[in-house]
Amino acid sequence: MREALTSLSRSNVGVASAVLLSMLASIALWTVFPNIDDENHLLEWLQALFLALACTVHGVRAWQEPDRQSLRFLMHAGLSALLFGFLLRELDIDQFGTAPAWAQLEKALRVVELLILIRVLIFFAPRARKVFAHAGLIFSMRITILTAIGGLLMVAGWPFDKKVFHGMPDAYALLGEEVFELGAYLLLFLASLSDSTAAARISLAPKKKAA
C-alpha cells in the first residue's frame, strides 16, 4: 500500500486524478446522502483522516532524518507542525461528547500545538538566512509544489465558507467548501509522500564562531 501511494504521488496524472475523483465522488455521494457534509460527518472525517495521515508522514520523515541540521528535516518538521494545527481546526473535539474532559482535551492539544510551533520557530530563526538563500530550490521541489497547490485548494473553499457567492443556497455553499477542503487535504497527504532528497543535501547548521 505504501509503495502504491508513493508511486501515485510521483505521477502528475495520478495525483490530479485522485484529487478530482475524490471531489466528484463526494458530490455524487452528497446527492444520495445530503447530510455527509454536516459538522462531524463523513466529509469532515475524511478530511481529518487525510490531514492526520499527512501530519504523521511528515512527522515520521522528520524523525527518521539522520541529519537534524538538514533542510529536509526542517521542511518535514515544519509541515508536520502546520498540519497538526489544521487538524485541530477541523476536529471539534469539544463536541465529541458532553463530558468536560473533551473540552479540556481540546485546550490541552492546542497548548501542545502552540509549544510545537514555538519550538519549530526557535529552530528556524538562526537558520532563516540559509533557508531563504535556497528559496529557488525549495519552491522547485515537487513536495513544495504539491503542498502549495493543496493550499490553493483550501483557499478556493474560502468563498463558499464566507458565502461570497450571493444567491447560492446554503446547502451548495457548504458542499463547495467541504469538497474543496477534501481535495486539498488529500493532495497534502500525497505531497507528504513526495521525494525530498534534494533538501537532504542542504545543511542549515549555523556557522561556528572562530575561537
In this predicted structure, what is the pLDDT of residue 123? Answer: 93
Please state the rounded mean pLDDT for residues 153-162: 89
In this predicted structure, what is the pLDDT of residue 41? Answer: 85
Residue 148's contacts (CB-CB under 8 Å, 6 or more residues apart) are 139
Confidence of residue 211 (pLDDT cuts 50, 70, 90): very low
Eight-state DSSP code of residue 66: S
* Residue 26 domain-assigned (yes or no): yes
* Residue 207 domain-assigned (yes or no): no
Range name among 28-37, 88-97, 150-159 with the lowest pLDDT average: 88-97
* Residue 175 domain-assigned (yes or no): yes
Confidence of residue 209 (pLDDT cuts 50, 70, 90): low
In this predicted structure, what is the pLDDT of residue 208? Answer: 64
Instruction: Tell me the sheet residues that pair with 172.
Output: none
Per-residue DSSP letters for 109-127? HHHHHHHHHHHHHHHHGGG
The boundaries of the domain holding residue 32 are 1-201
Mean pLDDT of the chain: 89
* Residue 210 domain-assigned (yes or no): no
Question: What pLDDT digit, counting tens, does each position of 127-149 carry?
Answer: 999 999 999 999 999 999 999 99
Please state the rounded mean pLDDT for residues 161-179: 86
Instruction: Tell me the sheet residues that pair with 134.
Output: none
Question: What pLDDT digit, counting tens, does each position of 108-124 carry?
Answer: 989 999 999 999 999 99
* Residue 209 domain-assigned (yes or no): no
In this predicted structure, what is the pLDDT of residue 8? Answer: 77
User: Does position 24 have pLDDT exceeding 60, yes or no?
Assistant: yes
| CA dist list (Å): 182 to 74, 101, 132 | 26, 29, 31
Confidence of residue 72 (pLDDT cuts 50, 70, 90): very high
* Residue 42 domain-assigned (yes or no): yes
User: Does position 5 have pLDDT exceeding 90, yes or no?
Assistant: no
Eight-state DSSP code of residue 194: S
In this predicted structure, what is the pLDDT of residue 93? Answer: 76
Please state the domain count of the chain. 1
* Residue 34 domain-assigned (yes or no): yes
Confidence of residue 1 (pLDDT cuts 50, 70, 90): confident
Cβ distance 188 to 143 under 8 Å? no
| Rounded-to-integer distance, Cα 9 and Cα 190, Å | 5
Neighbours of 56 (CB within 10 A): 16
In this predicted structure, what is the pLDDT of residue 106? Answer: 84
pTM above threshold 0.75 = yes
| Rounded-to-integer distance, Cα 59 and Cα 81, Å | 8
Instruction: Tell me the sheet residues that pair with 70.
Output: 203
Please state the rounded mean pLDDT for residues 49-61: 96
| Rounded-to-integer distance, Cα 73 and Cα 65, Å | 6
* Residue 122 domain-assigned (yes or no): yes
User: Does position 90 have pLDDT exceeding 70, yes or no?
Assistant: yes
All three cell numbers of 41, joined, read 460527518
| Rounded-to-integer distance, Cα 120 and Cα 115, Å | 9
